[in-house]
Structure 1
Amino acid sequence: MIAKVTLQQRYPRLSARAAGARTWVQAIGEQTRFYGATLSSLVFACGRYRGELLRQVAAMSLGTGALAVIGGTVAVVAFLTMSTGGLIAAQGYNQFSQVGVEALTGFGSAFLNPRVITPDTAAIALAATVGAGATAQLGAMRINEEIDALEVMGIRAIAYLASTRVAAGVIVVIPLYCVALVLAFLAARFGTTAFYGQSTGVYDHYFNTFLIPGDVLRSFVVTIAVAAVVMLIHTYYGFNAHGGPAGVGEAVGRATRTSLVSSAFTILLVTMALYGQTGNFDFAG
């Protein structure tokens, strides 16, 4: 009697690839479902869980415990943006001086900070501090069965844990980005005028000439979109963590990696949608 040979036995490599693709599609579907449930519960969470929302805003901005000693996310964003602003002063002045136009360092700060550098810096700071913290918190609650306890008590876990954190992240990022942008501008100006000896009048002239107020407002739109994406990704990985403490650490690493890559694509797409192909830039004056 001849035994029947299944497709999996005949084509093992093809079957393994198909199973991997099916698992990947299922994971994408689960993430999409979670993101939809989180976004649709934002209004409910802001209305019913205002106390938790305010607590998350305070924890994300000033920090809790040991993080509060250095000022929480505010201090982290401040140090990062001051570093990038100083980098613009150092690299911009040196690069422009090679072609004899070092006076345009103010233009580099006015053009690059709101369009590219500061939104990227804010995304990295959010993913490394607020996002990673949210993943660790939710992951610890998941492995300790606290999320299951909330659902048993009749509390909408996604709205209470995920939606409040996403809303808090979007709320916190607005004043944080104001601090980041101001410090980036000041650091670039201080580095150019104090360390490289450029006249403050020359720097301010080119900075004020090429700084477009609309770019500053559009950069807020980019940063808010990035904050929403980062918080959605981190809450998903924390909410669905498994495997004990090691699984929580793995979830934090995966969430950080995914959020950094996704934030780069978000900045690219939103920037192209806002500025178009030309960038709405006229080099004159």
Structure 2
Amino acid sequence: MAHEEESLKQELEELQKQLGKKQKFEEAVFNLKSLLRDLYPSSSPSLRKLFYSVICRVATILKTRYTAPGFWLAGLGLFEQAEHLVSDASEKQHLKTCILQAREHLRQLHNPSESTPNTSNRGYLFEGHLTVDPEPPQPQWLVHSNLLTTAATLFAAESSQGPAESNNTTENAASLLQDLITSLDDVLPLIPENDAVPRRVPPASKEVVAKLPVIIIEEEILAKLGKDAECAICRENLVVSDKMQELPCKHTFHPPCLKPWLDEHNSCPICRHELQTDDHAYESWKEREKEAEEERKGAANAIRGGEYMYV
């Protein structure tokens, strides 16, 4: 019995490796479905956990790599079969979510005109290309600038109108200013210093990302990390033989998850450590900001020191 369990464990681990190869993905999912149907009901708790872990990997790979309907149809069939077999409530709920995501993805592929932008979605790395995100909202500093401009225009128009019109204009301007005052705490940090313009962080340097070390999760490493260890981007639990890319801050993530994240955010999802970019203008601006921040801290410390002298 122990030999059979060990043999099944090795087979599942081999299938998990095959999932990462595009040409073997559908065959691996088909074989996984067969094993799930025939052996899951009689498997031990530890083997059931391994089954679930491999199924979660299928979901992760679909979301981070593949768009073709064949891959998603295979995944959908697997998720539906697994959802009927598992008994753990959290696993069942997660599989229901995977089923909904797969059906929605397939629906959008068949009816692209019906798909609507969703500003809450991040772009995924689909077959080497990032999806096109919806138009981002206006930055807060621009919103506040527009409010101030509109209010000033209304006040200027007040003098050229009659008493009744003037009252309405004043009320409108007062309302706009109240909106601005309500969010004043958000405005002040966004006011540029020394005519600096707020900048969007460019993507991380491709050369820097390529040199990030890759770590393969082994039994000893997984034991130190704990059973609940996960990739902070895709939120999938780590398993033995996972490849993880390590940032300079020592936090690690799946390489297929990390690449699109760094392209969009260029910072560690956990500690916000920022990587070097290929944008020399941005790097120079960042260095000037760092020096200015040190000067501000020095001035603040000097003021506090003076206050203590007179206490």
Q: TM-score, normalised on structure 1?
A: 0.27
**Between structures 1 and 2, the one with greater helix share:** 1
| Structure number, greater radius of gyration | 2
**Between structures 1 and 2, the one with greater strand share:** 2
Which protein has greater RCO, CA pairs closer than 8 Å, 6+ apart? 1
